[in-house]
Chains A and B, each alone.
Chain A
């Protein structure tokens, strides 16, 4: 029986997927001041995962990434909604956001905004939705 040898694909995947994941995190964090944000970051992460699924097969990747992508959708939604509802505690209108400057060792002074939390919610939801769609179609017999 013919058995394909995809050594080149697998070797490059392990490198490229790593770069893609790093780039996705960069996009997520950069969204406030330059192009990027939760949506494209989530899509980029999903594309890294899809690349891994394509070159290593579903069984192997499931062992490396034991995540149920379907539950990521409500988790992401919950993060986003709670960020909006959080403003209730400070007696501010729904979805009010704030920011502050914090000094960290090594990084120095960094601006942290609560809009980032909302973006993380979007990121998780987009990742969950994309992976659920792709894996559901891929698993179809």
Chain B
């Protein structure tokens, strides 16, 4: 019994409720949000330390034993992702007051912000498939409210698409859970895994696995189910885009990682091999999207798709190196995508437009902003000292061990083009003649959160020697479902 596992869910929930009372008092809300996110980050760091030193924390809510009650599992993977979520949330909490206007802030922005964190943390920590669905809905409800906050015309249009596609995939999720329940008779993930193992994943179970993959791939914006994502991610406020880009698709990919490393691991040639194809196509189409546009926000939004491709490739290859790479890349990508969305949000704010053809020479006015973008392009593409490099190196090493030459070549080529797509913003937007008529806007407060996030990225890259053992622990753990099943069902 340890209630520590539920605190990362409960604290944002209570924070959200409290901030719903104070929605009119902007100054109080801002400071309360900052204090609460930092407090939560500190607490989650402490829980992470405990999990890595003393083993997973398993909480049986209400005191009901594992297959009967809802259990929360704070294992190394889940708690690492919750920690990353809270790092992202802290940066966004400090950025929000600068990019939001008062009207948006008083319309319950901070309450929905915390509900989003509740949903994301809950989805990472739960050990129950139906509970995962509920937390998906919690985060999606909050995201519906956040995407339409402000009420712009484009926001209304894109939110309709966003709500429709997510509603559809949620309905499919419930259907898939119903199918699975009728076959195995349980919704507890450890218990499902045990029963699927007993029957050696017979035909119908693989069908359900594919259905679940379809659901999660829609949430994670994987090829060919990404069409709803890029445009709806760029219409809300930059801080909301950053939260979406960093957290929402990653919950989908985490679900795939969990379900296909714990439950459906007995027909690798059927399911996991197909993942490699989806990974390759995601890289190709994502990067084509990123190169095709001159809208800087859209470039970053399209860059989510190849990143998801890299992670799913790690799951598809399914050996020690590739899984380590997938986890490493997942953590790295959450942080860098948040930083990039905040950066392009700031650039679009100071330039007054997000069209790359309409501004240039910003480096004369904003050198800090320019070099931050330069560094984050390097981090994203995977240039050696930074965090993107180690994740990709492990992924490619894992793929080469399994002789997946095509995907390795594709991965390397797409990395090159990712670098080009971000460098394009730097070259066209920041280089060039000094525009004398340009009116400089103050960027106080915009840069701090970005620097905070990039610092984590740099530490993740330079301190790889220090962090890699933890990641290795996670991938060993993921490759052996027995550990999870035994720790949950206590056999």
- Chain A residues near B (Cβ < 8 Å): 71, 73-74, 77-78, 81, 84-85, 88, 91-97
Residue of B nearest to A91 (CB): B1
Cβ of B413 under 8 Å from chain A: no
Q: For A81, give its contact among B1, B17, B20, B59 (CB under 8 Å).
A: B17
Which residues of chain A are near B62, meaning CB under 8 Å? Answer: 93-97
B-side binding surface: helix, strand, loop or mixed? helix
**Cα(A71)–Cα(B24), bound, Å:** 12
**Cα(A77)–Cα(B63), bound, Å:** 22
Cβ-defined contact, A93 with B63, below 8 A: yes
Cβ-defined contact, A93 with B3, below 8 A: yes
Which residues of chain B are near A74, meaning CB under 8 Å? Answer: 17-18, 20-21, 111
Cβ-defined contact, A94 with B17, below 8 A: no
**Cα(A71)–Cα(B10), bound, Å:** 20
Cβ-defined contact, B14 with A88, below 8 A: no
Cβ-defined contact, A85 with B17, below 8 A: no
Cβ-defined contact, B20 with A85, below 8 A: no
Take A71-B21, A74-B20 as given contacts and tell me if A92 and B63 are in contact as well, using a CB distance cutoff of 8 Å. Answer: yes
Which residues of chain B are near A88, meaning CB under 8 Å? Answer: 3
What are 29 A-B pairs with beta-carbon distances under 8 A?
Answer: A73-B20, A74-B17, A74-B20, A74-B21, A77-B13, A77-B20, A78-B18, A81-B10, A81-B13, A81-B17, A84-B10, A85-B10, A85-B14, A88-B3, A91-B1, A92-B1, A92-B63, A93-B1, A93-B3, A93-B61, A93-B63, A94-B3, A94-B10, A94-B59, A94-B62, A95-B61, A95-B62, A96-B61, A97-B62
**Cα(A26)–Cα(B192), bound, Å:** 39
Cβ-defined contact, B21 with A94, below 8 A: no
Max chain B C-beta neighbours (<10 A), residue from A74, A78, A85: A74
Which residues of chain B are near A71, meaning CB under 8 Å? Answer: 21
Q: Quick one: CB contact mask for B1-26 with A, threshold 8 Å, 1 for yes?
A: 10100100010011001101100000
Cβ of B105 under 8 Å from chain A: no
**Cα(A86)–Cα(B111), bound, Å:** 22
Cβ-defined contact, A77 with B21, below 8 A: no
Which residues of chain A are near B59, meaning CB under 8 Å? Answer: 93-94
Cβ of B60 under 8 Å from chain A: yes
Residue of A nearest to B2 (CB): A93
Which residues of chain A are near B3, meaning CB under 8 Å? Answer: 88, 93-94
**Cα(A24)–Cα(B18), bound, Å:** 28
Cβ-defined contact, A96 with B63, below 8 A: yes
* Smallest CB-CB A-B distances: 6 pairs: A74-B20, A94-B6, A95-B62, A95-B61, A74-B17, A77-B17
B428 nearest CB across to chain A (Å)? 45
**Cα(A84)–Cα(B3), bound, Å:** 11
Which residues of chain B are near A97, meaning CB under 8 Å? Answer: 62
Which residues of chain B are near A85, meaning CB under 8 Å? Answer: 10, 14
Question: Besides the contacts A88-B3, A93-B3, what 12 more A-B pairs have beta carbons closer than 8 Å?
Answer: A71-B21, A74-B111, A77-B17, A81-B17, A84-B10, A92-B1, A92-B63, A94-B6, A94-B10, A94-B59, A94-B62, A96-B63
B29 nearest CB across to chain A (Å)? 13
**Cα(A128)–Cα(B60), bound, Å:** 31
Which residues of chain A are near B1, meaning CB under 8 Å? Answer: 91-93
A11 nearest CB across to chain B (Å)? 39
**Cα(A25)–Cα(B174), bound, Å:** 32
Which residues of chain A are near B61, meaning CB under 8 Å? Answer: 93-96
B65 nearest CB across to chain A (Å)? 11
A141 nearest CB across to chain B (Å)? 15
**Cα(A92)–Cα(B61), bound, Å:** 9
**Cα(A78)–Cα(B14), bound, Å:** 7
**Cα(A88)–Cα(B111), bound, Å:** 24
A114 nearest CB across to chain B (Å)? 11
Which residues of chain A are near B10, meaning CB under 8 Å? Answer: 81, 84-85, 94
Which residues of chain A are near B63, meaning CB under 8 Å? Answer: 92-93, 96
**Cα(A95)–Cα(B10), bound, Å:** 11
Take A94-B59, A97-B62 as given contacts and tell me if A78 and B6 are in contact as well, using a CB distance cutoff of 8 Å. Answer: no
**Cα(A133)–Cα(B63), bound, Å:** 36
Residue of A nearest to B9 (CB): A94
Take A73-B20, A74-B20, A74-B21 as given contacts and tell me if A93 and B60 are in contact as well, using a CB distance cutoff of 8 Å. Answer: yes
**Cα(A133)–Cα(B14), bound, Å:** 23
Interface residues of B in 1-59 (CB under 8 A from A): 1, 3, 6, 10, 13-14, 17-18, 20-21, 59
**Cα(A93)–Cα(B57), bound, Å:** 12
Which residues of chain B are near A95, meaning CB under 8 Å? Answer: 61-62
Residue of A nearest to B5 (CB): A94
Which residues of chain B are near A73, meaning CB under 8 Å? Answer: 20
B14 nearest CB across to chain A (Å)? 6
A84 nearest CB across to chain B (Å)? 8
**Cα(A94)–Cα(B61), bound, Å:** 5
**Cα(A81)–Cα(B111), bound, Å:** 15
**Cα(A93)–Cα(B10), bound, Å:** 13
**Cα(A113)–Cα(B55), bound, Å:** 35
Which residues of chain A are near B111, meaning CB under 8 Å? Answer: 74
**Cα(A84)–Cα(B17), bound, Å:** 15
B4 nearest CB across to chain A (Å)? 10
Which residues of chain B are near A91, meaning CB under 8 Å? Answer: 1
Residue of A nearest to B115 (CB): A77
Which residues of chain A are near B17, meaning CB under 8 Å? Answer: 74, 77-78, 81
